[in-house]
């Protein structure tokens, strides 16, 4: 049995912060029903311009979910959503400021229908404070949380970080809190309101950098790729744009390991490098010594040799390299699934391995793929009634249109 087997989630999230939350919960066994706008769906699908093929971005953030389409701008569409609420444990949304209020689907409304509901709202800056009405996306949250200020070269401008931690990091925290609230609900029978600010969530990943501020008195400085020759990138053969290895030799034992790895044990006796003070003073020369060696090895070879000598080292993988990484393959982290439109695809998995909870990774749903089955099961409606809702425009007709198109080909 999966860890969260029995938990049901109404997912009204879009883009990434919310979808990261609900995908994590789905990977732990929750039944996640994604509620989307007819025709276009989650904007992360990329259908606003008339495209019919879901973007790879959407596929990567919506595994193991079911999709239904409801037109919440129609009174009957909104009624259907509210009728579904008593059948669920959790409701998650990450709309921009004012959207939930306009649709009138806030916590107070849903709590009346299901007092045990766990209601999660993910906002850029929360619902209180001077920034509450400001729109926000990932990099805006990262900028506001200080991440740009510590990224880049020491003498250069602040830089955009690579990973989307403002979104995905917030979503992961939300999933953790939902799991805790669900455990609490099982004891007390009570639901609750949960709110996450992306700016605040992002600061969690900044705590190490913030620990250099003297408790808020001075700014943390940018340091580029690291601090000196023992925490930095080294170029490798054959000299491609990402042919580098990163090392972290953080103690004297690792310094000995570096010398052994590069075949120069004599450096241990060199006056220039005889202690940590002298090594810092002659950092450029030491960097050159190590570089001479790394340029003669591929990043894979350098990582292996450094690691075998007790040094923390990582080759700079390109993103597509992950799908063929022998270590990830052996650990079963790469999953092959069949997507209805994209065909056979590979997806990265969930990093947590649980000995008593296993959930197979499934492809993301087509838009509205499960509308009929979910509404029938939750609301007890017959197919004739569902067809009438579709004719009225309260629910989407994506799968019907798809079937008709396929039959005409």
* Mean pLDDT calculated for residue range 368-388: 98
Task: Give the pLDDT band of residue 153 (cuts 50, 70, 90).
Answer: very high
**C-alpha–C-alpha distance, residues 213 and 223, integer Å:** 14
The confidence score (pLDDT) of residue 98 equals: 96
The confidence score (pLDDT) of residue 272 equals: 93
Res 49 pLDDT > 80:
no
Task: Give the pLDDT band of residue 48 (cuts 50, 70, 90).
Answer: confident
The confidence score (pLDDT) of residue 409 equals: 76
The confidence score (pLDDT) of residue 157 equals: 97
Residue whose token pair is 């989650």: 42
Q: What does the DSSP assignment read for 333-351?
A: -EEEEEETTTEEEEEE--S
Q: Does domain 8-206+333-408 have CATH number 3.90.1150.10?
A: no
Nearest-CA neighbor of 141 among 197, 184, 205? 197
| Residue 319 DSSP code | G
Q: Are 47 and 41 in contact (CB under 8 A)?
A: yes
Task: Name the helix (H) or strand (E) containing 55.
Answer: none
The confidence score (pLDDT) of residue 331 equals: 97
Res 50 pLDDT > 80:
no
**C-alpha–C-alpha distance, residues 188 and 107, integer Å:** 19
Res 97 pLDDT > 80:
yes
The confidence score (pLDDT) of residue 228 equals: 87
Q: Which residues contact 404 (CB under 8 A, 6 or more apart)?
A: none
Torsion of CA 275, 280, 281, 286, to 10 degrees: 90
User: What CATH number is given for 231-324 in this structure?
Assistant: 3.30.1540.10
The confidence score (pLDDT) of residue 255 equals: 93
Q: Are 305 and 297 in contact (CB under 8 A)?
A: yes
Mapped onto helix, strand or coil, the DSSP state of residue 305 is: helix
Could you report the per-residue pLDDT of 285-313, keeping only the tens digit for each? Answer: 999 999 999 999 999 999 999 999 999 99
Q: What does the DSSP assignment read for 360-382?
A: ---PPPPTTTTHHHHHHHHH---
Res 350 pLDDT > 90:
yes
- With vertex at residue 268, the alpha carbon angle to CA 263 and CA 270, rounded to the nearest 5 degrees, is 110
Task: Give the pLDDT band of residue 122 (cuts 50, 70, 90).
Answer: very high
> Do 231-324 and 8-206+333-408 have the same topology in CATH?
no
Domain chopping of the chain, boundaries: 8-206+333-408, 231-324
Nearest-CA neighbor of 227 among 237, 212, 207, 242? 212
| Residue 369 DSSP code | T
Task: Name the helix (H) or strand (E) containing 381.
Answer: none
The confidence score (pLDDT) of residue 407 equals: 86
**C-alpha–C-alpha distance, residues 208 and 223, integer Å:** 14
| Residue 192 DSSP code | E
Residue whose token pair is 């596929």: 59
**C-alpha–C-alpha distance, residues 314 and 204, integer Å:** 24
The confidence score (pLDDT) of residue 363 equals: 98
Longest dimension (CA), the chain: 88
Query: What are residue 195's phi and psi, to 5 degrees?
Result: -130, 135
List beta partners, residue 65.
32
Average pLDDT taken over every residue of the chain: 96
Could you report the per-residue pLDDT of 71-91, keeping only the tens digit for each? Answer: 999 999 999 999 999 999 999
Could you report the per-residue pLDDT of 158-212, keeping only the tens digit for each? Answer: 999 999 999 999 999 999 999 999 999 999 999 999 999 999 999 999 999 999 9
Q: Where are the alpha helices (DSSP H) in 124-243?
A: 138-144, 165-188, 198-203, 207-210
* Mean pLDDT calculated for residue range 338-353: 97
* Mean pLDDT calculated for residue range 104-121: 98
Q: Which residues contact 99 (CB under 8 A, 6 or more apart)?
A: none
Q: Which residues are annotated as catalytic?
A: 167
The pTM assigned to this predicted structure is 0.95
**C-alpha–C-alpha distance, residues 236 and 243, integer Å:** 5
The confidence score (pLDDT) of residue 190 equals: 98
The confidence score (pLDDT) of residue 322 equals: 98
The confidence score (pLDDT) of residue 408 equals: 84
């Amino acid at each position: 049995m999966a860890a969260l087997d029995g938990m049901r989630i109404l997912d009204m999230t879009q883009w990434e912060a919310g979808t990261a939350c609900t995908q994590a919960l789905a990977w732990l066994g929750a039944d996640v029903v994604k509620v989307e706008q007819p025709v276009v769906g989650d904007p992360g699908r990329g259908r606003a311009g008339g495209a019919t093929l879901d973007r790879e971005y959407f596929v990567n953030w919506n595994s193991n979910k079911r999709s239904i389409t409801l037109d919440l701008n129609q009174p009957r569409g909104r009624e259907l959503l509210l009728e579904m609420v008593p059948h669920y444990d959790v409701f998650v949304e990450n709309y921009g400021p004012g959207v939930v209020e306009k649709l009138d689907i806030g916590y107070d409304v849903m709590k009346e229908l299901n007092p045990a509901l766990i209601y999660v709202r993910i906002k850029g800056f929360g619902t209180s404070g001077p920034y509450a009405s400001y729109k926000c996306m990932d990099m805006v949250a990262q900028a506001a949380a200080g991440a740009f200020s510590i990224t880049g070269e020491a003498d250069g401008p602040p830089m955009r970080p690579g990973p989307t931690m403002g979104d995905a990091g917030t979503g992961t925290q939300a999933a953790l809190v939902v799991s805790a609230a669900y455990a609490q609900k099982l004891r007390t029978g009570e639901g609750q309101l949960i709110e996450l600010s992306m700016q605040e969530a992002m600061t969690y990943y900044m705590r190490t950098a913030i620990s250099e501020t003297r408790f808020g008195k001075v700014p943390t400085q940018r340091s580029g790729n690291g601090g000196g020759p023992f925490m930095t990138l080294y170029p490798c053969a054959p000299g491609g744009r990402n042919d580098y290895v990163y090392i972290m030799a953080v103690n004297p034992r690792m310094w000995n390991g570096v010398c052994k790895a590069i075949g120069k044990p004599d450096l241990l006796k060199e006056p220039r490098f005889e202690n940590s003070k002298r090594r810092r003073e002659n950092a450029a020369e030491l960097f050159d010594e190590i570089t001479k060696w790394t340029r003669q090895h591929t990043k894979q070879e350098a990582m292996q040799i450094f690691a075998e000598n007790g040094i923390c080292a990582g080759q700079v993988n390109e993103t597509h390299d992950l799908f063929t990484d022998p270590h990830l393959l052996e650990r079963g982290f790469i999953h092959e699934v069949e997507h209805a439109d994209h065909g056979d695809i590979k997806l990265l998995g969930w990093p947590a391995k649980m000995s008593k909870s296993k959930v197979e990774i499934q492809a993301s749903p087509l838009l509205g793929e499960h509308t009929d089955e979910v509404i029938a099961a939750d609301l007890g409606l017959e197919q004739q009634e569902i067809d009438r809702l579709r004719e009225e425009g309260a629910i989407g007709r994506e799968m019907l249109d798809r079937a008709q198109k396929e039959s005409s080909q």
